[in-house]
Amino acid sequence: MLLGGLLVLAFVPLYVAVSTYTKVALQQIRVGHARSLGRAVAAQVVEARRNRSPEELTGLLRAEVGSEGVETISVYDREAKLVARAGDAPPDEVWQKLDVSREATFEVDGAHGRALAVVVPAPSGAVVAVLRIDDAVAHAAPLLRLLGLYTVLVAFSLLLLAYFALTHLIVRPLDELSRAAERVASGARRLKVPALRARELAELGESFFAMTERLISEEAALRKKVDEVEAATRRLTEAQDSLVRSERLASVGRLAAGLAHEIGNPISALMGLEDLLLAGGLEPDEERDFLVRMRKETERIHRILRDLLQFARPAANSRSEPFAPGDVAVAVSDTAMLVAPQKEMKEIELELELEPALPAVALGREQLVQVVLNLLLNAADAVGPGGHIRVGARAVAGRVELSVSDDGPGVAPEMRPRLFEPFATTKEPGKGTGLGLAVVRGLVEAVGGSVSLDERAPKGARFVVDLPLDRGPS
């Protein structure tokens, strides 16, 4: 369609130009011929006028009229008076332009259309010949029709030739390349480039083949990299699982070692006291003293086991209690009054900074008291007599933040990674089980909270407990 439009744009102006030029050329030839013929006729009439009478001259003029398109021949004297005439009367415009003193040619409207008036001066006057020139177009019509037919045939032939050439040399090879590319896109591993005759298309096919080979090679390399990454991911997952198992085994080992240490000492003391009682020979007061010591060691073992169970099942312990939202301010105040009579707390300054109207939290009252009590006792052991402990509570972004800070020596860097693990303690044997912070962590995390050591504290240790608000029964 586009090619046909281009041919029309090319040949129609060419045909118009050639036909116009042909018409103009034929008209000029016709005019030139009429001018020459008019001069020849006028010269012949001038010569005949010298030797013939007016009647003979008129007969000669009539013989010339009609040949070679001559319409009228008029003879005038020097005063532009008519002497003789043959043919139709000249049009009025001939009289207006007549000048017998000089030669002239001009177009006029003749009896049969456009005509050419030729004025040839003579010694005795002038001869005016009027010749038809309007039939030039009629003479050119067959030639123009032949030219139009030739133009149409040439344009149609070029259109067919261009169509078949473009189809055979360009369109079909491009379709084959397109189908080959579609096969590669559908999963084919190689591009089969068809044989192409045109040099440009052959180069295009080679470039396309090279590009496809490069893309397939890069895809294979990418697949290989993906397989390597997947294999590395599997190895990392296996290593992570192995590390988790190792960490669990290490935690179990530390738990067992701590439990053996914490329970082994009182059991050894019990066995020694039992041996003394079994040996006999003791005074009643000595036997009672030994029994009292055995009672204390037994209570120590019971306390260790109770703390261990509470650490292992904090969520179950919290759910066993009736649902009752906890008030952080009340729990802190009750805990402060609970520890105030104790001997080690009498020489320690305890400061409470509680924000008024704190919202209820998801952790129950008893669990809150246990959390605050463990943190307070750890802080008291750290600061000793004359120390200072600060307990604060505030509402932050839909939660309640509880903090316990002291001005003691702080937590050693090597102790911080396992600070919340069971039996992780820096206290002397018999003065702590190392389960307090582990129990606190279990109670807080059971309701969706968190507990952490503030490592940015400028002095001492500061523990921050983040508690979610109570949402009511679900």
Residue 345, CB-side half-sphere exposure with 13 Å CA sphere:
16
pLDDT of residue 351: 92
Query: What is the distance between the alpha carbons of residues 133 and 123, in angstroms, rounded to a whole number?
Result: 29
For tokens 């090597």, what's the residue? 414
Average pLDDT score, the chain: 76
pLDDT at 283 over 80: yes
pLDDT at 430 over 50: no
Query: Which residues touch 173 (CB under 8 Å, ≥6 apart)?
Result: 194, 196, 197, 198, 201, 205
Q: Binning pLDDT at 50, 70 and 90, where does residue 361 land?
A: very high
The residue ranking higher by pLDDT, 84 or 348, is: 348
The stretch 305-321 carries a mean pLDDT of 57
pLDDT at 323 over 60: no
pLDDT at 392 over 90: yes
pLDDT of residue 194: 63
The residue ranking higher by pLDDT, 279 or 69, is: 279
The stretch 341-367 carries a mean pLDDT of 87
The stretch 309-321 carries a mean pLDDT of 53
Q: Binning pLDDT at 50, 70 and 90, where does residue 403 land?
A: very high
Residue ranges per domain, the chain? 2-141, 322-468
The CATH class of 322-468 is alpha beta
The stretch 4-10 carries a mean pLDDT of 67
Sheet of 113-122, strand order: 82-87, 70-77, 125-132, 113-122, 104-110
pLDDT at 441 over 80: yes
The stretch 371-394 carries a mean pLDDT of 89
pLDDT of residue 200: 66
Query: Which residues touch 271 (CB under 8 Å, ≥6 apart)?
Result: none
pLDDT of residue 318: 46
pLDDT tens digit sequence for 120-159: 787 777 778 787 776 555 556 776 677 778 777 887 787 7
The stretch 317-326 carries a mean pLDDT of 56
Would you state the structure tokens that stand for residue 2, as one six-digit string? Answer: 């586009």
pLDDT of residue 322: 44
pLDDT at 288 over 50: yes
pLDDT of residue 195: 65
Q: Is the pTM of this model over 0.75?
A: no
The stretch 192-210 carries a mean pLDDT of 67
Percent residues over pLDDT 90 in the chain: 13
Contact 364, 470 (CB under 8 A): no
Q: Binning pLDDT at 50, 70 and 90, where does residue 352 land?
A: very high
pLDDT tens digit sequence for 80-114: 777 777 777 666 666 666 676 777 777 777 666 77
Contact 188, 213 (CB under 8 A): no
pLDDT of residue 337: 86
Query: Which residues touch 37 (CB under 8 Å, ≥6 apart)?
Result: 68, 69, 70, 129, 131
pLDDT at 309 over 80: no
pLDDT tens digit sequence for 27-58: 676 667 666 766 776 677 767 766 667 677 77
pLDDT of residue 225: 92
pLDDT of residue 11: 64
- In CATH, which superfamily holds the domain spanning 2-141? PAS domain (3.30.450.20)
For tokens 């590669």, what's the residue? 184
pLDDT of residue 449: 92
Lowest-confidence pick of 15-24, 150-159, 234-243, 365-374: 15-24
